[in-house]
Amino acid sequence: MNSAENFLQNKQLAKQANNEPLPPGQEQAQPLQQLLTRPDIWQLASGQGRSRTGISTGYRGLDALLTGHGWPRAASTELLIDKAGIGEMSLILPTLAELTRQGQMVILVNPPLIPYAPALVQAGVQLEKLLVLHPRGQRDQLWAAEQSLQSGACGALIQWQGKETPADKDLRRLQVAARDGDCLHFHFRPGSCVKTPSPAALRLQLKSDGEQLALHLFKQLSGKSGQRVHLARNPDLVRRDQPLH
């Protein structure tokens, strides 16, 4: 920065300190700059120049495919699955274990099957930091999820879609709540939802393939999609013979 630029910058700071009005246009520069640095603002022109660090999935192969080398922070991730109980919790278990070890709360909203506590403990999940909610009906479920996400009191919220399909405005509210609360939001939804658009930052389709979990990276903001990867799964994470509802 040359002397002329230094002089102008110091003069502008002095005006701000003395509460003097800035020239037209300059008073917008700082708020605009702050807005453009927010992680939830997607800039097409500069997106490649700005690195975004995600939260590691615990799987190197999957991290390598994701834009931020991990789960997108403060955003919704949709996990599209045709049938619960294929070991899908294996995918997010390493992250949940790390969050609870850090003392952060993890909330499960309406899991269709009872989480298998011994397997969770073996994987490193601190059960005292695990909260399971069973709100009744679509409206109560969305309310509980939104309030939890934006509370700032939990590190991750895992939600299972019920029989009713949430409206697009409801999905957007959840995405905004995850951003405002700086919370990871994992939303398990039926595989058929892959045909409908979603505001989620990341969408993965999950299927069982023998001893492995087959993933199809269907969508990610500011990154490539269409890749496929197979991961090891833990079939003991749920009790298939004990449905919750």
Domain count, the chain: 2
Q: What is the predicted pLDDT for the residue at 3?
A: 46
What pTM was computed for the model?
A: 0.76
Same domain, yes or no: 220 and 122 = yes
43 within a domain of the structure (yes/no): no
What pLDDT does 206 receive?
95
Question: What pLDDT was estimated at residue 133?
Answer: 95
- Mapping DSSP to helix (H, G, I), strand (E, B) and coil, where does residue 157 land? strand
Mind spelling out the 3-state secondary structure of 28-89?
Answer: HHHHHHHHHCCCCCCCCCCHHHCCCCCECCCCHHHHHHCCCCCECCCCEEEEEECCCCCCCH
**pLDDT for 19-44, tens place per residue?**
445 455 544 445 555 554 454 454 44
How many other β-carbons are positioned within 10 Å of the β-carbon of residue 189?
A: 21
Same domain, 76 and 173: yes
User: Are 54 and 66 spatial neighbours (Cβ–Cβ below 8 Å)?
Assistant: yes
CATH number for the domain including 116? 3.40.50.300
Which DSSP letter does residue 239 get? E
Q: Report the pLDDT value the prediction gives residue 217, as an integer from 0 to 100.
A: 95
The predicted pLDDT at position 11 comes to 47
Domain membership of residue 18 as a residue range = 3-37
Structure tokens at 5: 């630029």
